[in-house]
């Protein structure tokens, strides 16, 4: 076992745990960035410096695209089971990956890469299956592909420079896609607004944590389904006055301050009460 590789692989898994657990969007992006930067380093032998630079630059660009797409968004749904449970699940998967290195035959890559790949895929399953938040779905997708790449490194020859370039393109595409979806969702009312738009139930309240949304200045999740995306409302037809009198004129120009209401006169008792 190569200790340095194990440390880098551990960092990648820690970044993935942070990405799927954190509620703060910035922490989520930081976790993704750690995974993407650690990616080229979990290999034996290491790629050429140019390839490492290309992968690191691609990771930075992907994280930047994510940040652009999520600018202004502060909270995401986060994990429902808490980061310790996520970390334990990742650790268990990593042990399985390490123990089954080669998947049936002698492998050409390091066992640490396969362990990290298994851990990342295990972490990606929950957001992919249960995620109603488009950012969590995106993070799950990113981790799934990253995990598959780790496993590939663990099984096969180390990728050559040309392949590293294509992996860099894939990384940028993934970051850009998640950023675009996040931006579209935010423009439509929030990262979780999409489920409301198509009639799905709103996210369940987290079991493992108190709701910190109020602490960070975000409206807490309401058990009632929020109102869907705002649409232009047609003006209501004027209501006929109940009592004879002058109909109200629609206000012209800027709205005047509302006058104090006069106390309503009690209704006369209806005659048909029985």
Partner 1 sequence: MTVLPFLVVAAVAGTGSLILRGSRGWSTTIAIVGLLAMTWVAISLSPDAAIDIGGTILAGSAWLRLYAILASVVALGLIAVDVSAFHEPDAPGVIVIAIGAAVLALASPNAGVAVLAATAGGLAGVLVAAPLGAAGRAAFVGARELRALAITGALAILATGWLARPPGELATQPAVFGLAYLAFGAAVAVRFGAIPFHLWAARVADAAPGVALPLLMAWLPAAFAAVALVWIDQSVAPMTLPLSSERALIAAIGTVSIVLGLVAALVQDDLEHVVGYSIVADAGVAVLGLAVLDPAGWEPARTWLLVFVVGRSAFAAWVLAIHGGFGTRRLPDLAGWARRAPVLAASLVAIAATSIAWPGLAAWQARSTLIDLAMPRPIAVLVMIAPIAAIAIYGRILLVGVGQPNAAVRAGRGERPRWPASLPRRPMAGVGGLERGFERASHALSGTLDVAWLVPTAIRTNRMPLAAVAVLLLSGLAFLVAGGGLGVREAARAVPQAAGSDTGPSGPGSTSGPGSTPGPGPSEEPSAAASPSPQASFAPVP
Residues lying near partner 1 in the complex (CB under 8 A) are found at 51, 103-108, 121, 128, 134, 137-138, 140-142, 144-145, 147-149, 151-152, 155-157, 159-167, 169-170, 173-174, 176-178, 180-185, 187-189, 193-198, 228-229
Helical ranges in the chain per DSSP H = 3-21, 25-38, 49-69, 83-99, 111-130, 134-155, 161-187, 193-197
CB of 272 to partner 1, least distance (A): 49
Which residues sit opposite 75 in a β-bridge?
24
Q: Smaller CB distance to partner 1: residue 15 or 109? A: 109
Q: Round to whole Å and give the CA distance between 181 and 106.
A: 40
Q: Round to whole Å and give the CA distance between 175 and 187.
A: 18
Q: Smaller CB distance to partner 1: residue 184 or 205? A: 184
Which distant-in-sequence residues (6+ apart) come within 8 Å of 144 by Cβ?
Answer: 120, 121, 124, 128
Q: Smaller CB distance to partner 1: residue 104 or 253? A: 104
Which residues sit opposite 24 in a β-bridge?
75
CB of 34 to partner 1, least distance (A): 19
CB of 181 to partner 1, least distance (A): 4
Q: Report yes or no: 120 and 113 within 8 Å, Cβ to Cβ.
A: no
CB of 29 to partner 1, least distance (A): 16
Q: Smaller CB distance to partner 1: residue 104 or 266? A: 104
CB burial readout 230-248, b (16+ within 10 A) else e: eeeeeeeeeeeeeeeeeee
CB of 173 to partner 1, least distance (A): 4
Q: Smaller CB distance to partner 1: residue 4 or 187? A: 187
């Amino acid at each position: 076992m190569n200790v340095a590789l194990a440390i880098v692989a551990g960092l990648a898994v820690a970044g993935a745990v942070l990405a799927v657990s954190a509620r703060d969007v910035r922490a989520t992006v930081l976790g993704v960035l750690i995974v993407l930067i650690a990616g080229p380093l979990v290999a034996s032998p290491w790629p050429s410096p140019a390839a490492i630079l290309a992968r690191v630059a691609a990771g930075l660009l992907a994280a930047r695209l994510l940040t652009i797409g999520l600018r202004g968004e502060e909270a995401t749904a986060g994990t429902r089971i808490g980061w310790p449970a996520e970390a334990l699940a990742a650790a268990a998967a990593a042990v399985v990956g390490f123990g089954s290195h080669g998947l049936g035959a002698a492998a050409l890559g390091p066992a640490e890469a396969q362990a990290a790949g298994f851990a990342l895929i295990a972490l990606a399953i929950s957001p992919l299956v249960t995620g109603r938040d488009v950012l969590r779905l995106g993070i799950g997708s990113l981790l799934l592909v990253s995990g598959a790449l780790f496993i590939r490194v663990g099984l096969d020859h180390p990728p050559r420079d040309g392949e590293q370039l294509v992996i860099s393109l894939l990384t940028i595409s993934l970051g850009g896609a998640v950023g675009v979806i996040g931006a579209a969702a935010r423009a439509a009312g929030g990262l979780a607004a999409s489920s409301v738009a198509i009639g799905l139930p709103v996210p369940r309240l987290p079991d493992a944590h108190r709701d910190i949304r109020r602490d960070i200045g975000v409206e807490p999740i309401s058990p009632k389904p929020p109102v869907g995306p705002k649409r232009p409302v047609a003006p209501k037809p004027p209501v006929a006055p109940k009592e004879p009198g002058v109909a109200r004129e629609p206000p012209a120009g800027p709205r005047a301050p509302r006058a104090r209401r006069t106390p309503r006169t009690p209704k006369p008792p209806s005659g048909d009460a029985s």
